[in-house]
């Protein structure tokens, strides 16, 4: 499998104890499943190659972090 990807992250401090983080990513993936070759002329399969497959993946996320001293809370989502 080959992957080419890019990612960007941002961190915004609204207050000293409240952080907002957000970003996005994108990846282009190439799957190369394989090749089967027979070892002699009487083999049932002489040559069989599974074709490559390509896909794109994208993601966006947002998260919040509240620090209340001894307790902190994190919440967010990813699409």
Tens-place pLDDT, residues 44-77 = 878 888 899 999 999 999 999 999 889 999 999 9
Say what the pTM is. Answer: 0.66
Grade residue 34 by pLDDT with cuts at 50, 70 and 90.
Answer: confident
Place of tokens 């961190």: 11
d(CA 34, CA 4) in angstroms, rounded, equals 20
> What is residue 6's predicted lDDT score, i.e. its pLDDT?
98
Which residues, in sequence order, are CB contacts of 1 under 8 Å at separation 6+? Answer: 29, 30, 31, 32
């Amino acid at each position: 499998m080959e992957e080419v990807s890019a990612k960007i992250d941002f961190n915004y401090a609204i207050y000293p104890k409240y952080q907002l983080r957000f970003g996005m990513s994108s990846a282009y993936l190439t799957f190369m499943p394989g090749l089967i070759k027979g070892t002699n002329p009487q083999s049932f399969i002489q040559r069989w190659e599974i074709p490559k497959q390509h896909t794109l993946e994208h993601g966006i996320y947002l998260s919040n972090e509240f620090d209340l001293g001894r307790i902190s809370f994190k919440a967010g989502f990813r699409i």
